[in-house]
Amino acid sequence: MDEPNALWMPSPNFFPGRSGQVPRWLIVHGTAGFESAQAVGVFFQTMEVATHYTIGRDGVIVQSVRESDAAWGNGGVTEGHDPWWSRDLNPNLLTISIEHVKPSRDNSDDLTEIQRAISFQLIKRICTRHAIPQRRADADGGITGHFSMDPVNRHFCPGPYPWEDLFRYLNQSRHT
């Protein structure tokens, strides 16, 4: 496992070795259903989808795919995507993905306080491990939501997320 505090629930749904690519973006997701990170972990073991991590509403972190591999979490790139995504290169090869358990099917739930704190900390550690820019995504990498590559089918993913607070946290933690 890459994250020492995570519960390891391995999924078979990944691309081994990232086909020589390295992660440059971190993608934030919302589960659009489910009650726990463990339930999502079981889902990722049985369905043809997975992200690297899931953070439960209780702060539990489940890791389903190693960071050195590409999880099957982002799907395809659709019309209206941010300009740095290409339909010629699978975005999963370039990303690390984190799900946040949101029981509502439309991802309308806010994060719980513990989920928010764990999310910020996990994002910081992943970005540090992989030299992913700790800022809003652009062509050189960074952090964004699933909506960035699939505004047609995933415009609601991750739903409400405290973006400004995340970037403030990342900026402050770099200077302390």
Answer whether 73's CB lies under 8 Å from 29's CB.
yes
Cα–Cα distance for residue pair 85/57, rounded to 1 Å: 30
Give the per-residue pLDDT at 76. 87
Sheet of strand 61-63, all strands in order from the earlier edge strand to the far edge: 7-8, 61-63, 53-55, 95-100, 25-30, 142-145
The pLDDT profile of the chain, 176 residues, written as one tens digit per residue, is 899 999 999 999 999 999 999 999 999 999 999 999 999 999 999 999 999 999 999 999 999 999 999 999 998 899 999 999 999 999 999 999 999 999 999 999 999 999 999 999 999 999 999 999 999 999 999 999 999 999 999 999 999 999 999 999 999 976 65
- Spatial CA neighbour of 30 closest among 134, 157, 123, 150: 157
SS3 of 85, please? coil
- Spatial CA neighbour of 128 closest among 173, 73, 85: 173
Contacts of 163 (CB under 8 A, 6+ apart): 136
Instruction: Output b/e per residue, 80-116; b: 16+ Cβ within 10 A.
Output: ebeebbeeeebbbbbbbbbbbbbeeeebebebbeebb
Give the per-residue pLDDT at 75. 87
Give the per-residue pLDDT at 175. 62
pTM of the model: 0.96
Give the per-residue pLDDT at 66. 98
| pLDDT tens readout for residues 147-166 | 999 999 999 999 999 999 99
Give the per-residue pLDDT at 128. 97
Domains and CATH numbers, the chain: 7-174 (3.40.80.10)
